[in-house]
Amino acid sequence: MAGRVHVVGAGLAGLSAAIWLAKVGYSVQIYESSGHAGGRCRSYHDSHLDQLIDNGNHLLLSGNRAALNYLREIGSAGSLTGPDRAEFPFVDLAADLRWTVRPDQGVIPWSIFSSNRRVPGSSMADYLRGLRLARARPGDTVAQCLGAESQLYRRFWEPLAVSVLNTAAVEGSAQLLWPVIRETFGRGEAACRPLMAREGLSESFVTPALAHLEARGGQISFQHRLRHLVIEDGRISGLDFGEEVRSVDAADSVILAVPPAVAADLVPGLTVPRQSCAIVNGHFHYSNAPRGTPFLGLVGGTAQWLFVRGDIVSVTVSAADQLAGRPADEIAGLIWSDVAAALNLPSGLPERYRIVKEQRATFAQTPEQVRLRPGARTEWKNLYLAGDWTDTGLPATIEGTIRSGNASAEKIINA
């Protein structure tokens, strides 16, 4: 009979591990330091906006197989929405130029031979340069690999890389960007259709997961911050939560699905990425927001992506360390100027808005920090790691996070 698994952390990494372990018969106990599950992937009702908003904007692609498998398992695959075909509209705010990237049906990008299908100002040679990502060396950055002088870099590669890696393209790891391209755009149009939560991230990824686990006997304890790992004879024998110590039996396993700095403080000698990058999201209540474009890529401004859902216009700024240090009203003004130009709206700042700063949203996905990512297994025989900062081979995205949970679950199942 399968034993008990103690999962510390109820973000997507912890939830995905718990889902697959419960499916094969393990008893699962989750501990979460905050009062809610989901980590960075959640939604909540904002009292000032009087609307449901996501903590951050996340765009999935139809080639994100781990994320879609997770949603199918918890019964919420139908909660995503997106266009029938892969289309990525862009606007260059500085040049007042608009275009749409439409990937080819097959794996061969025939469209690069047509100037009308290419990104404005780009050449066929610019596209072929993208193959350098497949041969990127461990120390190569995106800018070094692709060259920063072309319009294709400025109008496609750079905004894509920054949003995927949450790291400036001049610093971001080219090797880490390549598997994303290979699994989505590299497989043709059917693998890169954009998908978004119809209602909210919690409604798609979190609430159904908790109900799914509860139906299978899983338990979750909120407001339980792990203070110390009790280690005896090369294994974890207890979890110290301060006022309470939970024993870990001989047949039990422990998964740490917590941020890297927290894991490093708990696990002796653990090496983790220490540098981080911020993300800033702006949410604006605008009753007359246009309904025809659910998302839009922004070039030449402050932000990279704009999303419209109902009466809320949301904007994401990745690699936003410098921006995050500014006052919220100043950030709102900068972001809204992008929104107004992109959507042809009045320049006056709406009365109701919310600026959400995530100072340590992800680890800095530079070549140096990528080399510090640990695997799922540790030197203690019943202790495993999960999180977007572990060595999944993917960036710190929803897909990478869920795969990290799957990896830790697989290690336990096969132990």
Q: What is the DSSP string of 210-260?
A: HHHHHHTT-EEESS----EEEEETTEEEEEE-SS-EEE--TT-EEEE-S-H
What pLDDT score was predicted for residue 293?
A: 80
What pLDDT score was predicted for residue 290?
A: 84
Residue 56 binned pLDDT confidence (cut-offs 50, 70, 90): confident
Radius of gyration over every alpha carbon of the chain, rounded to an integer in angstroms:
22
What pLDDT score was predicted for residue 228?
A: 98
- Return d(Cα 323, Cα 302) in angstroms, integer: 9
pLDDT at 1 over 80: no
Question: Can you tell me which residue has the tokens 């019943």?
Answer: 382
Segments making up each domain of the chain, as ranges = 4-45+201-273+366-413, 88-192
pLDDT at 52 over 90: yes
Provide mean pLDDT across the span 56-70: 95
pTM of the model: 0.96
Domain 4-45+201-273+366-413 architecture? 3-Layer(bba) Sandwich (3.50)
Q: Write down the mean pLDDT value for the chain.
A: 96
pLDDT digits (tens, 9 = 90+) for 360-396: 999 999 999 999 999 999 999 999 999 999 999 999 9
Which ranges of 272-413 would DSSP assign to H, the alpha helix?
Answer: 321-324, 328-343, 367-370, 398-413
